[in-house]
Structure 1
């Protein structure tokens, strides 16, 4: 079997290298692991904002600060219940119709009909004040509404984009590229929008390709078949770094690899058990030897770049097998004949699922499997579609899941943390079966807190609760690895993963 795998990979490499490299000066080809099934911002909007097809009212810089987007200015009323967004003039959708307040109200109302971060704001109504002014009225103050309006799920599309059921028939955005080809789940084509309101893109055409096999994507960029590959597997990094025609970029982003735990499971309901599982992990070894990015150890859920929510003086979590075994013994777990723990006649055997969209997850999962076995926990690891995490959460079958949670897909993680823990810690990607009375109350207070000092104090309190109670086990802070062809100039990576910045790129002159 190993020989067959090797020969298959070798044949693929030879085939790719034998192909004519992609040197078309009119087409930028990029690839990643993420499939898409729709054009709806609420479901797959991140693909279209990254490709600069769709835009939102506000933008975010590398420091997480809000910037003008389709709205030039915005303000909040003294009581915090009304926000006004003043739109840019002379902006057109890709179907040629103008950006108006009426079109924006329609798009936001469509977003309100679907799940998403916009639901974290208590929006009473969205109204037209004049041709280029939109008013958002809230039932209660929500300090982070601006961050919500910078999220991909609130991207503004022309009214003609939507069907009566609020789903998108064909995306007509406002970005520097417009959608011209849609072949789910693997291919999107976009072309330069000549009537774009801002700086014109230099490269005329873009093709986005989805491919799950990380090693195949790496071979494609080495062979010149693809210009940019996002989300590389650790095993490919050294080989790619030795290529003369490829540059590898490593960017720290506000995403955390973490173990989602079913705290209602009788084996993992006690905090001591979850703490023991955390103490079994050799985070330094995982960071240096598996991910190959030293210093990525996570001692809490929210990474340092989101400063209000990160505890600076929290000590690192050192591997401590002796203490881990002691904590499990306190909970009544004793080693069986084969070393696996037993209690009340039941073996400590659980399943851990992860997904292939981020290739390092399976490698980390197998290392975690070995480290948990060292304290007597038998873990079965398997790969599912990423949607299997949420479905396992809802039907109660999920026991453990290794996920890469993006805390920065919105400029402030409050809305995301409300989704994960606001309902007593029972969100699809957050806690499961874990209950805490204080945390939801703190998150609710933060929604209307306007004093920045008090906001930080309450955010820090929320972070401490999560660190102390361990409803989810932090493992590693994430580093995005990207391979870029040497013919591409002007590449940079958005740490909030909102925008691939394609319009800023160009091709080197031959």
Structure 2
């Protein structure tokens, strides 16, 4: 392309298109950990793309919207909450997102007690009702939707991480070590394919994400509408 300014001829190069299915995110600081249960710092820049939460918060409409939970309800006192898990959602290893996985993930976060796990203090116990239904019993009334839509310590991941890490339980240090070697088992629209926390984190589009079939979920990928618009077309 040629442009002319005040008698000068200027060659204008079209920007080279980014490789499809690859996300490049520039940051002034290095990442910290890759453990979705305990991370409480800069990895927030990629965690919401790899992992999902039960509920999302729409800041433009000031309301909570379905994530991995299609719907929810609570008793009048706000001490018993029931979430109905989205059928058809699956993790990057192909295993289903279900009530067992939700309980597994949140219980691990609570027991580890790292990062922002303190937000789960109101929860007394979690009960699996059936494959896609889960109940939270609280010690006192609390706005649980605000908790499950938090950007930290609420991500859902597959129970297979125990097997992949050759661990004895979800809180075995081997699981954290497995995550921090750049492994993941989330259900989000992108997969973590390179983990170099000081220099580069690379994500690859996961074509089987349930949300690609529902375009109105686009902005929720990162909370940044401009970045999200770009991601949708990779």
Identify the TM-score tier after normalising by the shorter chain.
Answer: 0.7 to 0.9
**In structure 2, what is the equivalent of residue 140 of structure 1?**
140
**Does the residue aligned with 1:199 lie in a helix, a strand or coil?**
helix
Q: Alpha-carbon deviation of 1:78? A: 2.1
1:85 to 66, 69, 83: 83
Structure 1 stretches lacking a partner, 5+ long: 1-19, 203-490
**In structure 2, what is the equivalent of residue 76 of structure 1?**
74
Question: Does 2:52 correspond to 1:55?
Answer: yes
Q: Distance in 1 between matches of 2:209 and 2:132?
A: 18
Question: Does 2:193 correspond to 1:184?
Answer: no
**Does the residue aligned with 1:159 lie in a helix, a strand or coil?**
coil
**In structure 1, what is the equivalent of residue 208 of structure 2?**
195
Larger relative contact order, structure 1 or 2 (CA cutoff 8 Å, min sep 6): 2
Q: Alpha-carbon deviation of 1:24? A: 3.7
**Structure 1 78/145 Cα, relative in aligned 2: closer, same or farther at 3 Å?**
same
**Does the residue aligned with 1:96 lie in a helix, a strand or coil?**
coil
**In structure 1, what is the equivalent of residue 228 of structure 2?**
501
**Structure 1 21/495 Cα, relative in aligned 2: closer, same or farther at 3 Å?**
closer
Does structure 2 retain, via aligned residues, the 8 Å contact 1:49–1:498? no
Number of positions where the alignment pairs a residue of Structure 1 with one of Structure 2: 198
**In structure 1, what is the equivalent of residue 17 of structure 2?**
23
Q: Distance in 2 between matches of 1:48 and 1:25?
A: 18
Q: For residues 166-215 of structure 1, give each alpha carbon's deviation from its aligned partner in whole angstroms, at most 9, with x where no partner exists.
A: 6262211111111111112221111121221121699xxxxxxxxxxxxx
Does structure 1 retain, via aligned residues, the 8 Å contact 2:80–2:138? yes
**In structure 2, what is the equivalent of residue 470 of structure 1?**
none
Displacement over 4 Å in runs of 4+:
491-500
Q: Alpha-carbon deviation of 1:62? A: 2.3
**Structure 1 123/37 Cα, relative in aligned 2: closer, same or farther at 3 Å?**
same
**Structure 1 28/134 Cα, relative in aligned 2: closer, same or farther at 3 Å?**
same
**Structure 1 494/161 Cα, relative in aligned 2: closer, same or farther at 3 Å?**
closer
Q: Alpha-carbon deviation of 1:150? A: 0.9
Q: Distance in 2 between matches of 1:28 and 1:145?
A: 32
Q: Alpha-carbon deviation of 1:493? A: 9.8
**In structure 2, what is the equivalent of residue 32 of structure 1?**
27
Q: Alpha-carbon deviation of 1:61? A: 0.9
Q: Distance in 1 between matches of 2:154 and 2:226?
A: 14
**Does the residue aligned with 2:50 lie in a helix, a strand or coil?**
coil
Does structure 1 retain, via aligned residues, the 8 Å contact 2:92–2:191? yes
Over alpha carbons, which structure has the higher Rg?
A: 1
**Does the residue aligned with 1:79 lie in a helix, a strand or coil?**
coil
Does structure 2 retain, via aligned residues, the 8 Å contact 1:176–1:200? no
**In structure 1, what is the equivalent of residue 8 of structure 2?**
none
Give the structure with the larger helix fraction.
1
Q: Distance in 2 between matches of 1:499 and 1:156?
A: 25
Q: How does 1:444-483 map to 2 (within 5 A)?
A: none
Q: Alpha-carbon deviation of 1:115? A: 3.0
**In structure 2, what is the equivalent of residue 125 of structure 1?**
125
- State the TM-score, normalizing by the size of structure 1: 0.35
**Structure 1 500/34 Cα, relative in aligned 2: closer, same or farther at 3 Å?**
farther
Does structure 1 retain, via aligned residues, the 8 Å contact 2:189–2:221? no
**Structure 1 71/188 Cα, relative in aligned 2: closer, same or farther at 3 Å?**
same
**Does the residue aligned with 2:187 lie in a helix, a strand or coil?**
coil
Q: Distance in 2 between matches of 1:141 and 1:159?
A: 29
Q: Distance in 2 between matches of 1:200 and 1:86?
A: 20
Q: How does 1:83-482 map to 2 (within 5 A)?
A: 83-113=81-111, 114-120=113-119, 121-142=121-142, 144-152=143-151, 153-161=153-161, 164-165=172-173, 167=176, 169=178, 170-199=183-212
| RMSD of equivalent CA atoms | 3.2
- State the TM-score, normalizing by the size of structure 2: 0.73
Q: Distance in 1 between matches of 2:23 and 2:29?
A: 18
**In structure 1, what is the equivalent of residue 9 of structure 2?**
none
Q: For residues 30-59 of structure 1, give each alpha carbon's deviation from its aligned partner in whole angstroms, at most 9, with x where no partner exists.
A: 312232132112215513334x11111101
Does structure 1 retain, via aligned residues, the 8 Å contact 2:24–2:202? no
Does structure 1 retain, via aligned residues, the 8 Å contact 2:86–2:132? yes
Q: Alpha-carbon deviation of 1:105? A: 0.2
